A = this chain, B = another copy of it.
Amino acid sequence: MAEVDRPARRAGRPRTTVLTRDLIAHAALRLLDESGADGFTMARLAQALRVRPSALYNHVEGKEDVIAAVRELVSDRIDVDAFADEPWDAAMLAWARSYRVAFAAHPPTIALLATLPLTGALRTMRMYDTVVAAMVRAGWPEQEVLPTIVAVESFILGSALDAIAPADMFDPAGAEAEVPAFASAYRARARSLGNAPPADAAFEIGLRALLDGLRDRHARLHAESS
């Protein structure tokens, strides 16, 4: 019964291309979005592509490689253009928000991609190159640029992870007496946010504080050198 709508392809090279690394990556992202990280197996991925699992290994090195390909797909949506014509701090704000949005668009991938080290792909290095160049132009000491970018990225990734946590995870219901200050702050936050996602509020507060702090430092460095 399940066999009926499976491909009736015989062994041997197909006359027309059925798989490429890019097709696999797109199918993987779709599968991830639809069935979550747990449902993401090579077998299911092959099924979605109407192919046997072993066929995938002609185009990717393994599951890790598929995930790396998905990461490239997601990372491509990060917009770095603001660094071309906006001041470094405004550009960084825009970049950080775009970065977070790119991941937030595919919640099940976040844990998978955050966990995996960023690939050393040329595309990724080009993104860094744009950001680095703008910061150096703005007068940041060169040896501080990379740590500063990494710090902002760490905050973004951590916030993305926080965003996929269940919203009511820390509902202190039943333990109010044990943790009164926490319970009260929990209620105060709920009142002030309404239906807005708590993770968004934390991200905006943190991002603004981080950039305020970086602006302070930038100003201090500038004051010394003049």
Query: Per-residue 0/1 for A196-226: is the Cβ within 8 Å of any B Cβ (1 yes, 0 no)?
Result: 0011011101111111111011000000000
Q: Are B151 and A206 in contact (CB under 8 A)?
A: yes
Cα A114 to Cα B154 with chains together (Å) = 12
Q: Are A209 and B210 in contact (CB under 8 A)?
A: yes
Q: When the two chains form their complex, are residues A125 and B182 in contact, meaning their CB atoms are under 8 A apart?
A: yes
Is A189 interfacial (CB 8 A cutoff)?
yes
**Nearest neighbor of A162 in chain B, beta-carbon distance:** B154
Are A125 and B155 within 8 A (Cβ)?
no
- Please tell me which one of the listed residues B111, B142, B185 contacts residue A185 in the complex, with CB atoms under 8 A apart: B142
**B158 contacts A202, C-beta separation under 8 Å:** no
Contact with B along A126-154 (1 / 0, CB 8 A): 10110011001000001111111011111
**Among B143, B151, B185, B201, which residue has its beta carbon within 8 angstroms of that of A159?**
B151
- Residues in B whose Cβ lies below 8 Å from that of A202: 146-148, 150-151, 154
Nearest chain B CB to A149's CB is how many angstroms away?
A: 8
Residues of B within 8 A of A205 (CB): 144, 147-148, 151
A62 — which chain B residues lie within 8 A by C-beta?
none
Would you call A13 an interface residue if the criterion is a C-beta within 8 Å of the partner chain's C-beta atoms? Answer: no
Which of B118, B120, B146, B193 contacts A189 (CB under 8 A)?
Answer: B146
- Chain B residues lying within 8 Å of A192, measured Cβ to Cβ, are 143
**A177: min CB distance to chain B, Å:** 11
What's the least CB distance linking A139 to chain B, in Å?
Answer: 14
A-B pairs with lowest CB-CB distance, top 10: A151-B206, A158-B158, A209-B213, A154-B158, A212-B213, A133-B181, A213-B213, A143-B192, A129-B179, A150-B202
Q: Could you list 9 examples of A-B contacts with CB < 8 Å?
A: A114-B114, A115-B115, A125-B179, A146-B185, A146-B198, A147-B206, A151-B205, A151-B209, A154-B162
